[in-house]
Amino acid sequence: MKKLKIQVQKIDPKALAEVSCDVLLTAVPSLKKLPKNWPGNLRSAVTKGFKAGMVQDSDGALLQLPAPTGFKARRLIVLRQDLKAPHHELAKPLHRALALAASSRAAAWWAPEPGALDVLVRSAQTQTYRYTHGKKNPVARLEQIKLIGPERPSRREAEFGRAVGCGQNLMRELSELPGNVCTPEYLARRARTLGGQYRQLTAKVHTPTQLKRLKMNTLLQVGLGSGHPPRLIELHYKGAGRGRPIVLVGKGITFDTGGISLKPGAKMDEMKFDMSGAAAVFGAMLACAEAEIRSPVIGLIAAAENMPDGLAGRPGDVVTTMSGKTVEILNTDAEGRLVLCDALTFAQRFKPRAVIDLATLTGACVVALGHVATGLMSNDEALAQVLLEAGQRSGDRAWQLPLWPEYRQQLHSEYADLANIGGAPAGTITAGCFLQEFAEEFPWAHLDIAGTAWPDAMGRKRSSGCAVPLLMEYLRS
């Protein structure tokens, strides 16, 4: 993993011309509020550039031009943006600005305000990532960022932002791998590798034979049609603090055809992203180690491939979960909740302070919230509020949906304790109600990232790295 080099330095604004870098970036609230202590030729170049329409985006808020005469920097990028704005308003503009600097080796950011530094460095770190599997001659990426300002920028905030960005990059890498590479076995190998990279992290993998002993029958059921059997992966982060752990549970469907309830062929290639919940857990665990979070954290990944063949599970099958509750599987394409329910039951053994699961669970969530907010459901209002606030602070927002008893009635089954689907109405909520049945022993929250896992901030069919910023803001608080 490529990690951005960070330098922090207090400098006089009049000395900006002496900053050695490939590209100098900054932000101004408006042309009327250019810093008076900037060098005169810098003020003049920025004013003329915006007035001449030398902008790089449709909003007219991003200016790129050659650095003024006498500057050691080669290029200048100026974002017309108030850095005191909420973080969710800053994330995309900063990402666009840093994308212009991505091919430079060294960038410098003039920080007129002390805030938003973690979001800035997070965005800069994500610019170091490029998908390279199966590609030759990868493009050069950003290697170093200098953080400069009239006051010394906070290294602590910068390093936290870098840790979150590293986690996002791991999530993006795993999510974007094709299904013939990223299998349950592959995720198990990556977990062991990650566990060997940090002294605070350890990994453990449960094989299909061990899953049978644990009676994780719904996880096994999902993988019946695949030549790549399921795995349950544990990642344990040992922080400096004591107390009960927070458990993160990720849906790891490495490819989802829908099984016997086969999906339409159009856009089925996107179903490699159906393990984005698991990828987010991987990313969060790496970020915990990089940021040295104090709280102990456990990541659980329920990994399986949902394929149709003669051994695959059928609609109408009744399966006994690890909890002992029975489930009638009316639709094999509602498989995410089946792997998660056994993982949630497994999480009880750790006596968790809280459990948060993440999944690209329902298309209904995309219909309800689009690609802007993650769906949040919880059996604990205090936990829900803390997560919502973490989403606001990080710019990685969530929106709460209810889990009222009336919705649970839609999961009624004539042949089992509950069905795995509840019909078309309120599909996201009934999926949450299903999971709630297996989270009765601890504070629990469910994050449906079906709409936010992809596309990315540039609108491409790429992983967004979502949920990692929200989780890390929650974990550090």
Q: Looking at the annotation, which residues are catalytic?
A: 263, 337
Half-sphere exposure of 446 (CA within 13 A, CB side): 32
* CA–CA distances in Å: residue 211 to residues 128, 183, 189, 341: 38, 17, 17, 14
**Tally of CB atoms within 10 A around 188:** 21
Beta pairing class for 106-110 and 23-28 = parallel
What is the rounded CA–CA span in Å between residue 213 and residue 407? Answer: 33
What is the rounded CA–CA span in Å between residue 426 and residue 223? Answer: 27
Give the 3-state secondary structure percentages of the chain, helix then strand then coil, rounded to 5: 40, 20, 40
Tell me which H or E stretch contains 203: strand 201-206
**Tally of CB atoms within 10 A around 155:** 13
**Tally of CB atoms within 10 A around 208:** 15
Contact 110, 24 (CB under 8 A): yes
Contact 167, 287 (CB under 8 A): yes
**What are residue 428's phi and psi, to 5 degrees?**
-70, -40
